[in-house]
Homo-oligomer: A and B are copies of this chain.
């Protein structure tokens, strides 16, 4: 994670991949795999940024220029995970949701009150 926790995304539309997971107990090579995935994501065409937190449940949202870029990343990630030990070793359960971001606002753009 960078010191700036927010992905520096452009004007919408762009694509968000919301990955929600519950880990299995123990590391089992997860930390190394996770760092590899993170480094690999940043090299992918169409990568815009990533935000991540774990507190019981883990939520990682990666942002992509378009659906094709998000699909490309999915193939690369699946390949890496399969090469290593496989997702069942690391994740008790997970969900992946692919979404098109239509609006974005923050504290400096009138925030929760804005349309």
Q: Is the interface of A mostly helix, strand, loop or mixed?
A: strand
Query: Nearest chain B CB to A76's CB is how many angstroms away?
Result: 10
Determine whether the beta carbon of B81 is less than 8 Å from that of A96. Answer: no
Determine whether the beta carbon of B111 is less than 8 Å from that of A94. Answer: yes
Determine whether the beta carbon of A55 is less than 8 Å from that of B53. Answer: yes
Per assembly, the copies of the chain total 2
Determine whether the beta carbon of A59 is less than 8 Å from that of B61. Answer: yes
> How many residues of chain A are within 8 Å of chain B by beta carbon?
46
Chain B residue at smallest Cβ distance from A103: B98
Residues of B within 8 A of A91 (CB): 107
Determine whether the beta carbon of B101 is less than 8 Å from that of A97. Answer: yes
The answer to whether the Cβ of A39 comes within 8 Å of any Cβ in the partner chain is no
Determine whether the beta carbon of A100 is less than 8 Å from that of B103. Answer: no
* CA A91 to CA B91, docked complex, whole Å: 31
A51 with B55, Cβ < 8 A, contacts A6-B93, A102-B100 known: no
Q: From residue 55 to 105 of chain A, which have CB atoms closer than 8 A to chain B?
A: 55-59, 61, 74, 77-78, 81-82, 87-88, 91, 93-105
